[in-house]
A and B are shown apart, each in its own frame.
Chain A
Amino acid sequence: MSFIKKFIEQEKVNRRDLLLASAYGLGGVAATGLLGTGMARAAIADPTVAWSYRNRTNPYWNEIVGGGEAFVESLGKPKDFLTHLINEGSSEKSLADVKALLSKTNGDLALAIDTNDAPNARPVVEACAAAGAYVSTLWNKTDDLHPWDFGDNYVSHMSWSDEGPAEQTARILLEAIGGKGGVVHLGGIASNNPAIERLNGLKNALKNYPDVELLDAQPADWDTQKAAQVMAGFITRYGDEIKGVHCANDTIGYGVLEALRAEGMDIPIVTYDGNPQAVELVAQERILATVFTNPHWGGGITAALAYHAATGAFKPSDEPHAHREFYGPTIFVTPQDAKEFKANYLDNVPTYDWSDHWGPSNGQIKYQ
């Protein structure tokens, strides 16, 4: 039973230490409180750089992480210097992984993250700030969470508003069908924010086209095969009434094109995301327009912001709000400029200046 004896002895010592420490420390705690939590650490010379995201299966996230890798390579480090935290669509795993990495690195961390859902952003940011690490978020955060409320540790947040660009591609489509007839929409996973915004964009555009009817809108879950099946159903139900198709992203568009091809139909479609395959299809005029959000830059710059704040290259709290919460870039790709766009952005991925943090960004995020 010696281990019990040992335990009791240890506890006695612990309690004594605690009493002494609290008597001694009370004044000290008050003093450090004045300095604030963020001041506990000055610049981190060589922070670990990590990207936390869903997984690489999706071409979009693959591009994002590719940008993160390009950034660490620009530092003269190997690609695998970037630590990958893969949450597989689980917010719990996302948070647990971040906490594990924080204790492993003792807070010497520059983290770029999509927290999987909006409510998860707050615990992630709070954990990073408490450990003295630097974090930049992409896409998901709640409206009441702001980088400037955390001193320097919550460096920045970037997101995209898809409603406007989706409305513009919808206008291109509606013009192409001569402003009358029926259109269908194939959406993403119904509860995803981009899916909702992209459908809203179409609905906004339709207000100016009274002769166009939105025949149907169904979720295709961002999935090529499901999109082909849903489109086949639409063709059965509406047949030649469908004059144009509005797709929530490129991968859905590929499925729609194959469904149309199987029927020998050729009608205009527009997509979103500007993946390389979609851009090629735009150049061949099989897709009418897509929107490029430059995920490569987005992934790289999110990591760069966290890294440069961590090393002290810039001080986030000295920057205006527009540099802490901003929209990412959107570039329209249409048949006229597809070739040029492909040459500039896809065939040779441009070498970005990762210290130009806000050049391509698109203004401060507005809340409704």
Chain B
Amino acid sequence: MADVTADPAQSKRLFPRERIIQWAPLLVLFVLLLLFPFFEWLEDFREAKDHIYLLDSRFFSIRNAARIAMSSAPALMVAVGVTFIIIMGSIDLSMEGTVSVCAVIFAFAFIAWGGTILSWAWLAIPVAMLVGAAMGFVNGIVHVKLKIPSFMASLAMGFVGTGLALLLTGGDRIRVEDPIFRSLLTERWFNFPVMCYVALAFLLIAWFIQSRTTLGRNFYAVGGGEELAHASGLNVERVRIMGFTLAGVFFAVGALLAVGRIGIAETATGNNFMFVSITAVVVGGTALWGGIGGVWNTLVGVLIVNVINNGMVVIGLPGWVQDGTLGLLVIAAVVMSTDRQSVSFVK
């Protein structure tokens, strides 16, 4: 009997649409990595300077890769946290407040307990992560128990966090100058600062949670079809609350790396993390309606955003063009990663 369900030519295509969508973010990253050196080459070519494409590129160098990795590390942690939430089909906008509170409490505790990792001050690190977890937990409770949409509940919690951080600091900045803690930035292994390896370690933990634990599987179940998951006996509310708590822990790690990078904790530590992390998750190919994507997509997304930010300065684009370009990129990324035929309406 003839196969009437599919067009044979369709199934034999080398690159079916799904596969292109799946790999599009990585492709975009590679294109960008080749594009910025091209602009550099073009600039030198116009001025008739010797420049061998890629080899003479300042952008395409280990030193610059380390710089991009450094600016990506805190944002990656925050973005990984929010990835879990977006996989569930919810959204968490509390990161700026949570990061600020964690950073400030960490700095206070760190200084109060000795001011160097070699004393009891190291306890400030787990304390900061507990604070992040607690804020995420409250966030989840407010969302689930009071039945407030996640974007509203988390946005409100974010404001609470920013206010709390301001209350704690009174607008001052706290300096963390312990040379051992600051070795996150100053110490390099194989050309990359220690903070990059810390971020990588937590990325692997996140990947483990996502792929090897029941909780991780349940995130996908809730995001793929909440009704179905509920009907199968899954305690959806519990999964959601645990998701927000987990996200809070990763926000706290992001806060620690942010403090490690500039040595200052303040209410403004959380600034810009919302835009960068949500952009990175979406550009990386994690669908905003849930069920698709994961932490590796987020890694690619964070790298894309930071490669663009770095590359635009390197090729000398003016500031306003940079913001606009990033905005256009988000639209392009969502367009590419969405199968519009399967989505009947957008709300």
**Contact residues of A with B, CB < 8 Å?**
55-59, 61-62, 190, 216, 218-219, 223-226, 228-230, 232-237, 239, 254-255, 258, 261-263, 277
A237-B313, A262-B193 as given contacts; A228 in contact with B71, CB under 8 Å: yes
Contact A59 B173 (CB under 8 A): yes
B116 contacts partner chain A, Cβ-Cβ < 8 Å: no
| B64: A residues at CB distance < 8 A | 236
A216-B316, A232-B70 as given contacts; A261 in contact with B185, CB under 8 Å: yes
Contact of A57 among B171, B261, B272, B318 (CB under 8 A): B171
List which B65-88 residues lie within 8 A (CB) of chain A: 67, 70-71
Q: How far is the CA of A263 from the CA of B62 in the complex (A)?
A: 12
Q: How far is the CA of A58 from the CA of B272 in the complex (A)?
A: 15
A60 CB → nearest B CB, Å: 9
A255 (CB) vs chain B CBs: closest residue: B262
Which secondary structure characterizes the binding site on chain B?
helix
Interface flags, B302-313, vs A, CB<8A=1, else 0: 000000011011
B159 CB → nearest A CB, Å: 10
**Contact residues of B with A, CB < 8 Å?**
58-59, 61, 63-64, 67, 70-71, 162, 166, 170-173, 175, 185-186, 193, 258, 261-264, 266-269, 271-272, 309-310, 312-316, 318-320
Q: How far is the CA of A232 from the CA of B59 in the complex (A)?
A: 11
B151 CB → nearest A CB, Å: 20
| B261: A residues at CB distance < 8 A | 225, 228, 258
Contact B71 A229 (CB under 8 A): yes
B186 CB → nearest A CB, Å: 7
A219 CB → nearest B CB, Å: 4
3 closest Cβ contacts across the A-B interface? A233-B313, A62-B171, A56-B171
A57-B268, A277-B175 as given contacts; A224 in contact with B310, CB under 8 Å: no
Q: How far is the CA of A223 from the CA of B267 in the complex (A)?
A: 12
A144 CB → nearest B CB, Å: 29
Contact of B67 among A55, A224, A236 (CB under 8 A): A236
A215 (CB) vs chain B CBs: closest residue: B316
Contact B272 A226 (CB under 8 A): yes
Q: How far is the CA of A219 from the CA of B272 in the complex (A)?
A: 15
A273 CB → nearest B CB, Å: 13
Q: How far is the CA of A58 from the CA of B67 in the complex (A)?
A: 27
Contact B185 A262 (CB under 8 A): yes
| B67: A residues at CB distance < 8 A | 232-233, 235-236, 262
A355 CB → nearest B CB, Å: 27
A57-B267, A57-B268, A219-B319 as given contacts; A262 in contact with B171, CB under 8 Å: no
Sample 17 A-B pairs with CB under 8 A, ordered by A number. A55-B166, A58-B171, A62-B171, A190-B319, A218-B318, A224-B264, A224-B268, A225-B258, A229-B71, A232-B70, A234-B313, A235-B67, A237-B313, A255-B262, A262-B70, A262-B185, A262-B193
B195 (CB) vs chain A CBs: closest residue: A262
Contact B185 A258 (CB under 8 A): yes
Contact A61 B171 (CB under 8 A): yes
| B258: A residues at CB distance < 8 A | 225
Contact A225 B58 (CB under 8 A): no
| B309: A residues at CB distance < 8 A | 229, 233
B100 (CB) vs chain A CBs: closest residue: A57
Contact A59 B271 (CB under 8 A): no
| B314: A residues at CB distance < 8 A | 233, 236-237
Q: How far is the CA of A225 from the CA of B310 in the complex (A)?
A: 13
| A226: B residues at CB distance < 8 A | 272
Contact B313 A218 (CB under 8 A): yes
Contact A223 B170 (CB under 8 A): no
| A258: B residues at CB distance < 8 A | 185, 261-263
7 more CB-based (< 8 A) A-B contacts, given A228-B261, A237-B313, A262-B185: A62-B171, A190-B320, A228-B262, A233-B310, A236-B64, A261-B185, A262-B186
| B58: A residues at CB distance < 8 A | 236-237, 239
Contact A223 B186 (CB under 8 A): no
Q: How far is the CA of A329 from the CA of B315 in the complex (A)?
A: 40
B95 CB → nearest A CB, Å: 14
| B166: A residues at CB distance < 8 A | 55-57
Contact A225 B271 (CB under 8 A): yes
A238 (CB) vs chain B CBs: closest residue: B58
Contact A236 B171 (CB under 8 A): no
Contact B271 A223 (CB under 8 A): yes
B306 (CB) vs chain A CBs: closest residue: A229
Contact B268 A229 (CB under 8 A): no
- The interface centre, meaning the residue of B173, B185, B262, B264 with most chain A CB atoms within 10 A of its CB, is B262
Contact B310 A223 (CB under 8 A): no
| B185: A residues at CB distance < 8 A | 258, 261-262
Q: How far is the CA of A51 from the CA of B267 in the complex (A)?
A: 21
B293 CB → nearest A CB, Å: 26
A59-B171, A218-B319, A236-B63 as given contacts; A223 in contact with B262, CB under 8 Å: no
Q: How far is the CA of A263 from the CA of B64 in the complex (A)?
A: 10
Q: How far is the CA of A232 from the CA of B61 in the complex (A)?
A: 13
Q: How far is the CA of A225 from the CA of B172 in the complex (A)?
A: 16
B119 CB → nearest A CB, Å: 23
Contact B313 A277 (CB under 8 A): no
Contact A236 B262 (CB under 8 A): no
B76 CB → nearest A CB, Å: 14
| B170: A residues at CB distance < 8 A | 56, 62
- The interface centre, meaning the residue of A58, A219, A262 with most chain B CB atoms within 10 A of its CB, is A262
A357 CB → nearest B CB, Å: 26
